[in-house]
Amino acid sequence: METTPHETLYGKNPTELTVLCDRMGLPRFAARQLARWLYKRHTEDPARMTDLAAANRERLSAQFAPALAAPVRVTESADGTRKYLYATSGGHFVETAYIPDGERATLCVSSQAGCRMGCTFCATGRQGLQRSLTAAEILNQIVSLPERDRLTNLVFMGMGEPLDNTDNVLRALEIITSEWGFGWSPTRVTVSTAGVVPELGRLLDATRVHLAVSLHNPFHDERAAIMPVERVWPISEVAAILRQYDFTHQRRVSFEYILMEGLNDTPRHVRELCRLLNGIRCRINLIRFHRIPGSPYYSPAPEAMIRFRDALTARGIQTTIRASRGEDIQAACGLLSTSELNMKN
């Protein structure tokens, strides 16, 4: 099997690296050396892998393309949030948000350029799906980040639906959480989904990362009007799957809920949320809506958000209001990349 100029070393797991070594006539132990250079030292240039034979370094350099690249643009908020723009092949762009908070530093990464879920309140959804990212392109958002060594947490809540790109997301998670990879604890990672039912169990069975479900409305017809995924995979089916899993030890599930005035913020929504989530040990994160151009939606007043939170808490669901970050730099997913695409076109 011949390698192609587009094949990269970065993103391969030890099994694949072993197959590669067999194919190229390298000793099998070279797979461990490659993994150490790639994921411990974050070095993908074979010329720098000094414990490999010089001839093997030359062969690897000739056959594999680089995968890692620095961001092409950064904007910084007054609150310290930084939003990075990364270019991908095909002329597409993805966004990554670095969110410092005291001793905690969270990175919000993308799994696709664009998104096919079509949520009406999301700027990324307006782009449609351009393509899914490879595992190397997902990891590049972490490895090539200037603040890489300060990171404490990682959330797959950027552009795209992670469970619409499950193979590459699982591959990236394996590298992030394996001892031979980045060595991160799964408890430092959260994967968000709008509820792709056929892939949900696969993620939960294959990993121990936290889960965040984009809920936003507990009523089928109302959720379907703003989240087309509801027509195919109702949130009630998602809830039924989650009841089969234990979220009491080390792994947690949360439900993300963007409050939109007059749309999903009434007492009947509180009652239906309690009914829908009955039997699931979880929390609800209330999020203030970040305006996007041409959107008909508005965030309720802070007092209304507090009342909604308190009503859920009084009924036994742990509920928090997530602090808004980076709104002055277009922190809502998709706005920066949309702007870049418009300028390019």
Is 95 considered catalytic here? Answer: yes
Are 298 and 260 in contact by the 8 Å Cβ rule? The answer is: yes
- Three-state DSSP state, 38: helix
Question: What residue type is 53 in one-letter code?
Answer: A
Are 138 and 111 in contact by the 8 Å Cβ rule? The answer is: yes
Residue 246: how many other CB atoms lie within 10 Å:
8
108, 115, 119, 333: which one is catalytic? 333
Residue 40: how many other CB atoms lie within 10 Å:
12
CA atoms of 106 and 77, how far apart (whole Å): 15
Residue 85 phi/psi, 5-degree rounding, is: -110, 125
Are 241 and 208 in contact by the 8 Å Cβ rule? The answer is: no
21, 44, 95, 230: which one is catalytic? 95
| DSSP code of residue 243 | T
Pairing assessment for the beta strands 210-214 and 253-259 based on DSSP bridges: parallel
Is 333 considered catalytic here? Answer: yes
CA angle at residue 110 from 190 to 290, to 5 degrees? Answer: 85
Catalytic residue positions? 95, 333
